Amino acid sequence: MKVTNYISEAFTELKANVTWPEWSEIQRLTIIVAVFSVIFALVTFGVDKGFEVLVAKVYSFLKN
């Protein structure tokens, strides 16, 4: 009974007390998040490749 009451109250609060953003704002913010996600992924990829090259050079130096 507690779970049902909790879910019912949660839906009531979402309908009555939450101010939802407008569709244009949702689209704008989604694009911003997508762009920053791609940028962050590319930076992470670049750092990873840089460390890969660095470690390969260190091992190559130690091997010789």
| 16-54 pLDDT per residue, tens | 998 889 999 999 999 999 999 999 999 999 999 999 999
pLDDT of residue 1: 79
Q: What is the C-alpha to C-alpha distance for residues 62 and 18, in angstroms, rounded to an integer?
A: 61
Upper half-sphere CA count for residue 37 (Cβ side, 13 Å): 6
More reliable by pLDDT, 63 or 27 = 27
Q: Which residue has the tokens 């009531």?
A: 12
Question: Is residue 6 in a domain?
Answer: no
Question: Is residue 34 in a domain?
Answer: yes
Domain of 41 in residue numbering reads as 22-64
Tell me, yes or no, if the pTM score tops 0.75.
no
pLDDT of residue 48: 98
pLDDT of residue 63: 87
Q: How many domains does the chain have?
A: 1
pLDDT of residue 64: 73
Q: What is the C-alpha to C-alpha distance for residues 45 and 50, in angstroms, rounded to an integer?
A: 9
